[in-house]
């Protein structure tokens, strides 16, 4: 059933199983009825043999006309009925053996008759019963055979009824199976339809997860998690390209500009030395940026997905502060670890490079949108979570625009004159979601903004 749709596979399997059960039940009914029919006819022949023997021996003692009338009323002839009576002596047994041989009945019939006073045999067409009958102290062997025409007809009718019933039931079950399988698979078809509408340009769309949770809800949730990872990967790529172009452009511009100035006219040795120092400094900066970008690209992924590792959050914040100092020497970002002093609770399990991207984006935004005013970057122990608080005294975010800050490429109306891409916060939000964390934001326009990033302790996110 390689190319058959699942709906038809389910209907076919369901039908085959039902047909198998019906065949087994029908066969059981037919066999039990056949056995009952055979035993019932043997019982009739047994009674027939006894009555026939009594009438035969009574015939010699009553008027012939009276015997005929009694026989007609009480001994209705059976199809192909034949009766034999033999003496139980040696001569009678020999005659019975000859008869049995002509009727193709085994000699064991006589043995059973002599030992048990009863014997029965069934051939392809007739059934035969033999009994021992004692009349006035003399033993006789009585044998009756007949064809169970009514019983055979009943079995033929029963077979047709059962066979027709199985065929009709199989057809009905197949149709019902198609309807049932279609209703079961309809939600899956809807999921497939919705997934097919999701492309690289609308990765923010998600499947609806129904309640109560079941296998289909798990499937939708799995798709949503996969879309989270894909969207984060796209955002990381976009962020990487944006950062790379921005970071690489500055030193390259400086190198090209200084070279053009140096080559524009003849200069003395000191001026050339100063130009070379600028070029060397910018080249070193370019090398450092390139190495950092390559390190970010190489360490974010391995063959199985995002690299998950255990690291100290305070050390990561120190590293972020160092990077901010290099990129923006005039910043006033201040670190505060006084509210998280227990060393063991400073460890996180997750993607260090992604968490660094999230925290760096928010910290750099805080410094950029506050015109290098004071920015606090602090750690706080919050029981089952550890919180990173980034507080600035910048332009803030208009209250009616707070709900849009995680939308890709959204930029608040009061910062559109400041250079930016509108992907930092959406990317940070996705990274926090991947790690099972959350972000809380408070902002007052023209006063400042507080970002609180809560990380769960002791559990790594599932990136696979």
131 or 413, greater pLDDT = 131
2 pLDDT above the threshold of 60: no
CATH of domain 302-464: 3.30.565.10
Domain boundaries, the chain: 6-152, 203-299, 302-464
Pull the structure tokens for residue 36.
Answer: 């009952």
Q: According to the model, what pLDDT value does residue 327 have?
A: 82
DSSP 3-state of 69 = helix
- Fold annotation for 6-152: Beta-Lactamase (3.30.450)
DSSP 369: T
DSSP 3-state of 245 = helix
> Could you tell me whether strands 127-135 and 138-146 are parallel, antiparallel, or unpaired per DSSP bridges?
antiparallel
Among left, alpha and beta (phi > 0; psi -120 to 50; other), residue 226 is alpha
Query: Rounded to an integer, what distance in angstroms lies between the CA atom of residue 129 and that of residue 106?
Result: 13
Q: Any alpha helices (H) in 264-420, and if so which ranges?
A: 269-299, 313-327, 352-368
Query: Rounded to an integer, what distance in angstroms lies between the CA atom of residue 192 and that of residue 200?
Result: 16
| Residue 464 confidence class, pLDDT cut points 50, 70, 90 | very low
Q: Report which of 31, 29, 43 is spatially closest to residue 148, judged by C-alpha positions.
A: 43
- Whole-model pTM above 0.75? no
Measured from the Cβ of residue 30, the count of other Cβ atoms closer than 10 Å reads 16
What spatial distance separates the first Cα and last Cα of the chain, rounded to whole Å? 32
Q: According to the model, what pLDDT value does residue 320 have?
A: 92
* Mean pLDDT calculated for residue range 95-115: 90
- Fold annotation for 203-299: Helix Hairpins (1.10.287)
DSSP 3-state of 302 = strand
**pLDDT averaged over every residue in the chain:** 82
Q: According to the model, what pLDDT value does residue 177 have?
A: 87
311-352 pLDDT, tens digit each: 999 999 999 999 888 888 888 899 999 888 788 888 998 888
Q: According to the model, what pLDDT value does residue 371 have?
A: 83
17 pLDDT above the threshold of 90: yes
Give how far Cα 320 sits from Cα of 335, 340, 355, Å: 10, 18, 11
């Amino acid at each position: 059933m390689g190319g058959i749709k699942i709906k038809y596979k389910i209907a076919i399997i369901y039908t085959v199983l039902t047909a198998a059960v019906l065949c087994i039940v029908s066969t059981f009914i037919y066999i039990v009825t056949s056995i009952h029919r055979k035993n019932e006819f043997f019982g009739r022949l047994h009674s027939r043999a006894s009555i026939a023997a009594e009438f035969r021996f009574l015939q010699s003692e009553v008027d012939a006309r009276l015997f005929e009338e009694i026989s007609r009323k009480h001994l209705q002839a059976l199809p192909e009925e034949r009766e034999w009576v033999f003496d139980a002596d040696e001569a009678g047994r020999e005659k019975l053996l000859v008869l049995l041989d002509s009727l193709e009945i085994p000699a064991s019939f006589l043995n059973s008759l002599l030992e048990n006073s009863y014997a029965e045999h069934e051939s392809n067409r007739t059934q035969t019963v033999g009994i021992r009958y004692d009349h006035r102290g003399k033993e006789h062997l009585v044998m009756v055979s007949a064809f169970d025409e009514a019983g055979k007809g009943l079995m033929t009718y029963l077979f047709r009824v059962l066979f027709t019933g199985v065929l009709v039931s199989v057809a009905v079950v197949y149709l019902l199976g198609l309807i049932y399988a279609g209703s079961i698979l309809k939600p899956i078809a809807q999921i497939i339809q919705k997934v097919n509408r999701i492309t690289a340009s609308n990765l923010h769309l998600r499947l609806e997860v129904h309640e109560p949770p079941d296998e289909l809800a798990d499937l939708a949730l799995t798709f949503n998690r996969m879309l989270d990872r894909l969207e984060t990967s796209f955002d990381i790529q976009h962020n990487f390209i944006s950062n790379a172009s921005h970071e690489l452009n500055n030193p390259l511009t400086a190198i090209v500009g200084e070279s053009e100035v140096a080559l524009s006219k003849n200069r003395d040795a000191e001026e050339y030395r100063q130009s070379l120092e600028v070029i060397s400094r910018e080249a070193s900066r370019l090398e450092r940026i390139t190495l950092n970008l390559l390190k970010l690209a190489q360490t974010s992924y391995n063959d199985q997905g995002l690299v998950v590792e255990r690291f100290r959050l305070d050390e990561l914040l120190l590293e972020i502060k160092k990077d901010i100092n290099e990129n923006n020497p005039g910043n006033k970002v201040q670190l505060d670890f006084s509210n998280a002093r227990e060393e063991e609770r400073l460890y996180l399990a997750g993607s260090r490079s992604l968490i660094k991207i999230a925290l760096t984006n928010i910290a750099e935004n805080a410094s950029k949108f506050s015109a290098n005013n004071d920015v606090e970057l602090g750690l706080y122990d919050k029981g089952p979570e550890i919180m990173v608080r980034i507080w600035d005294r910048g332009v803030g975010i208009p209250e009616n625009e707070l709900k849009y800050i995680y939308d890709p490429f959204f930029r608040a109306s009061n910062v559109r004159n400041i250079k930016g891409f509108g992907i930092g916060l959406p990317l940070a939000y996705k990274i926090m979601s991947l790690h099972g964390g959350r972000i809380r934001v408070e902002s007052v326009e023209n006063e400042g903004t507080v970002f609180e990033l809560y990380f769960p302790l002791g559990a790594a996110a599932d990136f696979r």
